[in-house]
Structure 1
Amino acid sequence: MITAACSWLLRTREASMRPQTVAEKILARAAGLGAVVPNQIVEAVPDFSYSHDYAYFAIDAFEKMGATSVHNPERIAVCFDHGTPADNLRDANNHKIVRAFARRHRFAEFYEGGVGIAHQVMVEKGFVVPGALVCCNDSHAPSGGSVGAFAIGIGETEMGFLWAVGKLWLKVPQTMRVELSGQMPKGVYAKDIILHMIARLGVLGGLYQVMEYHGEAARRLSISERFTLCNMAAELGGKGGIFPYDDITAAFEKSRARFPFAPVLPDSDAEYSSTFHLDLSELEPMVALPGREDRGLPVSEVQGRKVQQIFIGSCTNARVDDLAIAAQILRGQRVHPDVRLMVVPASREVAVESTRNGDLLALMEAGATVLPSGCAVCAGAHQGVLGDGEVCLSTSNRNMPGRMGNNNAEIMLCSPATAAASALTGVVTDVRPLLKVA
């Protein structure tokens, strides 16, 4: 009979001889180990953690544990984004509690509502750095993989525990290697890549796995495009998405990294659970039909469906390049009179830059309503709630019933280009004819 101690020694020996993926290397370092293997339970010390409005629940857990001091507050930040500005007494009072807690415990930063969506803000402000283990009590934390971090979502109770003791138990995930090749055709964008992947793999196709991106096409993607792909790892059931460190990462981090970091690359002979190949040149603009994110189809098979609301925003697709794509299509045009177009920049920094370059002005002149930077319509909490039977075409990441505040409404997912083209016509529209693409 193998004792627990013998089993641990065997697993440790197996790990020490095993080539490592990016996520495995990051977890091993954070756990003080030489190497790890999938499904191993490790006690890890995250490099950085952050929260948003739901920090209230983490604080509640923290206090119920009897904790009185926060570990490593200089590596913790909070950014309000879900229900801000508060539109009810409960949220306003919860915000009050979070503000006081963050200041009392001297968190590295506290950002008021309007600064932006936490995932966007933490990357653009340099808190999420390459090679770091990052935790957030939100499922779209994997966005941080865009800069080579292993960023994961955890629960509010786990966050309270992390603040109390400074470490967490984590299970080492498997890693899927994603090989991207080819050039994206005109009219196809990063959102179309991930919607195609989800349609092929299913919403559980990457269950508790990390999607590690490789290939010449992956290396050409901007940080914003990488952000989109890593962000929606959650819609594959994944634990994370990671682009290994390269020159594009280095250029992005050069003037913004808040913490020292060591770039992490996978071993050349690292072991992967599977390899997913995708030739980007074969892709078309995509739309995910209402109900589930894996109901993706080419726009050409969906076009003509009437929509009442269009949302260009969320942590998935509301950065400067996304707004520029939409502005290129809508500049000098008018939004269809039967459509409400809501535009929400991912952060104030994005809004300022898009104002200076004229893109936000072009969107407003076309008839868009611009809301404060935050989760807004995506969260369905207090802005842009849909009426019964209404359809929203959205650049966000989720389209399950009730996501935007009404179980009797429907949500479709698309790229900023498809959203902008559809805003002109009032129906789901293929953007390629507008771009003069055959």
Structure 2
Amino acid sequence: MTSIAPTAAATATSTAAGQTLAQKLIAHACGRERVAVGEIVTCKVDMAMFHDSSGPRRLQPMLEELGAQIWDKSRVVLVMDHYVPERDDDARRIVRIARDWAREQDLPHVYDSMGICHVVVPQHGHIRPGMLCVGGDSHSPTGGAFGAYMFGVGSTEMLGVVVMGEIWLRVPETIRMWWDHTLPRGVTAKDMMLHMLGRFGMNGGRYQAVEFAGPAVAALSMQERMTLSNMSAELGAQAGLIAPDATTTAFLADAGAPPVDPTPWFTDADAELTQHRFDAATLEPHVAAPHSPANSLGVSHYADTPIDVAYIGACTGAKLEDLRAAAEILRGHKVATGVRLIVAPASLRDQELARDEGVLQALMDAGAELFPTACGACAGYGDPMGDDITVMSTTARNFKGRMGSPSARVYLGSPYTVAAAALRGRVTDPREVLA
């Protein structure tokens, strides 16, 4: 580890030092050439995203009470992903409110039952380098994978954004997680994040902007980068940023996004920040034990823990590349006797691509149950985990009761690790299977 930490006085007064990626994005959003750490600034919002749980049922009555209108409907994205498919009267009520409001407002960007917001929104080109975005969900920092400054807000803050198109924020310090070399086979971005959580804890970001950089990060696909940025929320960061590059622009072109120049969006060599350094080549698969993502150690520490359910789902574990990883482990095999394998793809697009590639069939042949493309059990909805069972999951969180019963024990791992546990019936190093 190396540290480059400015003093508070230097941060406040220096005008000669370069700017971090976070500072450049915030300065752009507030119409300035540069900003200093600690400043409070008002920023224009380029895109506001919310879903059926966080959005209309809370925003609609507040807007009506104020007699206010949406500032720019073209910059609002609504996703129905938490309470779909509707399984009870409460879910039907919540989703009906969202659908009715979207129709009344004539919103142009509505994605109903098409997958999880943090995957669907990027797949449709809504998040691009240089933007400042907000989301009505704690995992909204996913947008930082695209070189955008994106963070989660509550309903009251979202109301202000929806009416004014602006939000204030305090310019954060930057913590850079620099990863050298490249990841070995069977080790993923999820393992990188679980390692960082085990080292720094769930408050390791302390409101700062966390930036992921280095050769190992540059080598990651966009979907893997999205996992890193998504789980910067678990580190306690406001944003999880990755400088955009050719990988970013290729993904966005495929998503049909308008062309954008990624070159302005990087951290200057002389910017003031704190840096921690890691060696990706020596990283092993990691597992987080109940009941915190920070209870994370190398997989060998939890090896042979029996499991009852393997869950491959959520925005951090069921994108196309995640499904491919699980299929690489399970193709031609059957899950262990007594183990239930649930697969809930993160989006309809990824599900169909996995079907076309034969990935989905390989998982089904192994004994997987296919669940809807929604937040599902990650949010304790759909088919929640029962009492006194042990779950191995690709989700981002394993808090007590998060996936259902408070007595369920949830372990977190990468799709490789979860699939290996399903195959063996116990926590297993996936490299043993791949070998």
**CA distance in structure 2 between the aligned counterparts of 1:67 and 1:226, rounded to whole angstroms:** 41
Q: Is the 8 A contact 1:62 1:164 kept in 2?
A: no
- Cα pair 1:129 1:257 within 8 Å, conserved: no
CA distance in 2, matches of 1:324, 1:97: 36
Deviations 1:349-405 (A, max 9, x none): 00000000000011011110111111111111232x122211111011001101102
Greater alpha carbon shift after TM alignment, 276-285 vs 88-97: 88-97
Q: Matches of residues 327-342 of structure 1 in structure 2 within 5 Å?
A: 327-342=327-342
Deviation at 1:72, TM superposition (A): 1.0
SS at match of 1:236: coil
Residues 214 and 243, structure 1, Cα contact 8 Å, conserved in 2: yes
**Is the Cα–Cα contact under 8 Å of residues 56 and 95 in structure 1 kept in the other structure?**
no
Query: 1:11–1:269: structure 2 CA closer, same or farther, 3 Å change rule?
Result: closer
- Cα distance in 2 for partners of 1:370, 1:45 equals 41
Quote the residue 1:78 is aligned against.
Answer: 78
1:4-403 alignment runs, 5 A limit: 14=13, 17-53=16-52, 54-60=54-60, 62-63=62-63, 65-113=65-113, 115-259=114-258, 261-263=260-262, 264-272=265-273, 274-383=274-383, 385-403=384-402
Q: Name the SS for the 2:226 alignment partner.
A: helix
**Alignment partners' CA distance in 1, 2:414 and 2:26:** 33
1:205-244 residue CA offsets vs partner (Å, 9 max, x unmatched): 1111111122122211111111111110011011111110
Is residue 209–residue 239 contact of structure 1 (8 Å, CA) maintained in 2? yes
Count of aligned pairs between the two proteins: 424
Counterpart amino acid of residue 285 in structure 1: P
Q: Which amino acid aligns with 2:339?
A: V
Q: CA separation of 1:12/1:411 partners in 2, compared to 1, >3 Å: closer, same or farther? A: closer
When residues 330 and 402 of structure 1 are mapped into structure 2, their CA distance, relative to the original with a 3 A threshold, is same
Amino acid at match of 1:188: V
2-structure distance, mates of 1:36, 1:288: 37
Q: CA–CA distance in 2 between the matches of 1:41 and 1:406?
A: 42
CA–CA separation in structure 1 for the residues paired with 2:17 and 2:62: 37
CA 1:14–1:106: 2 relative to 1, 3 Å: farther
Contact 1:58 1:158 in 2 (8 A): no
Structure-1 separation of matches of 2:69 and 2:196: 43
What residue ranges of structure 1 are gaps of 5+ in the alignment?
A: 1-9
**Counterpart Cα distance in 2 of 1:429 and 1:11:** 48
Question: 3-state DSSP class of the match of 1:407?
Answer: coil
Instruction: State the shift of 1:23 in Å.
Output: 1.5
Deviations along 1:253-283, one digit per CA (max 9) or x if unpaired, are 22435456443222221111x1010101111
Amino acid of the residue matched to residue 267 of structure 2? P
d(CA) in 2 for partners of 1:296, 1:268? 32
Deviation at 1:14, TM superposition (A): 4.2
Alignment correspondent of 2:5 = none
**One-letter amino acid of the structure 2 residue matched with residue 266 of structure 1:** T
Q: Is the 8 A contact 2:377 2:385 kept in 1?
A: no
Say if 1:429 and 1:327 are closer, same or farther in 2 by CA, change over 3 A: same
Per mean C-alpha deviation after superposition, the further-off stretch among 242-251 and 341-350 is 242-251
Q: Tell whether the 8 Å contact from 1:184 to 1:280 is kept in structure 2 after alignment.
A: yes
2: CA distance between counterparts of 1:147 and 1:32?
Answer: 21
Give a deviation string over 1:37-96, Cα, whole Å, max 9, x none.
222211111101111112134424632651331011101111111111111212212222
Task: Report SS of the residue matched to 1:232.
Answer: helix
* Cα separation, partners in 2 of 1:172 and 1:388, compared to 1, 3 Å: same
Cα distance change on mapping 1:162 and 1:337 into 2, 3 Å = same
Contact 2:46 2:133 in 1 (8 A): yes
Distance in 2 (alpha carbons) for counterparts of 1:282 and 1:258: 37
Q: CA deviation at 1:17?
A: 4.6
Tell me if structure 1 keeps the 8 A contact 2:43–2:167. yes
For the 8 Å contact 2:28–2:130, the answer to whether it is kept is no
Q: Give the CA deviation at 1:19.
A: 2.2
Q: In the alignment, which residue of structure 1 is the partner of 2:4?
A: none
134-143 vs 169-178, which deviates more? 169-178
> SS of the counterpart of 1:422?
helix
Q: State the alpha-carbon separation in 2 of the partners of residues 333 and 425 from structure 1.
A: 10
Partners of 1:250 and 1:86 lie apart in 2 by 36
- For 1:154, give the aligned amino acid: V
- Secondary structure class of the residue paired with 1:197: helix
Structure 2 counterpart of 1:184, which letter? Answer: L
- Partner letter of residue 317 of structure 2? N
For 1:7, the equivalent position in structure 2 comes to none
Identity of aligned residues (%): 38
TM-align CA RMSD: 1.9
Q: Secondary structure at the match of 2:150?
A: strand
CA–CA separation in structure 2 for the residues paired with 1:12 and 1:418: 42
Query: What is the alpha-carbon distance in structure 2 between the residues aligned to residue 371 and residue 435 of structure 1?
Result: 26
1:419 partner amino acid: V
| CA distance, structure 1, for counterparts of residue 134 and residue 354 of structure 2 | 29
The residue that corresponds to 1:6 in the other structure is none
Q: Corresponding residue for 1:3?
A: none
In structure 1, distance between residues paired with 2:175 and 2:154:
24
* Structure 2 segments unaligned to the other structure (5+ residues): 1-8
Q: Does structure 1 retain, via aligned residues, the 8 Å contact 2:375–2:381? A: no
Question: Which structure 1 residue ranges, 4+ long, deviate > 3 Å from structure 2?
Answer: 10-18, 257-262
Q: Does the 8 Å CA contact 1:47/1:133 hold for their aligned counterparts? A: yes
Pair 1:430-2:429 in alignment: yes
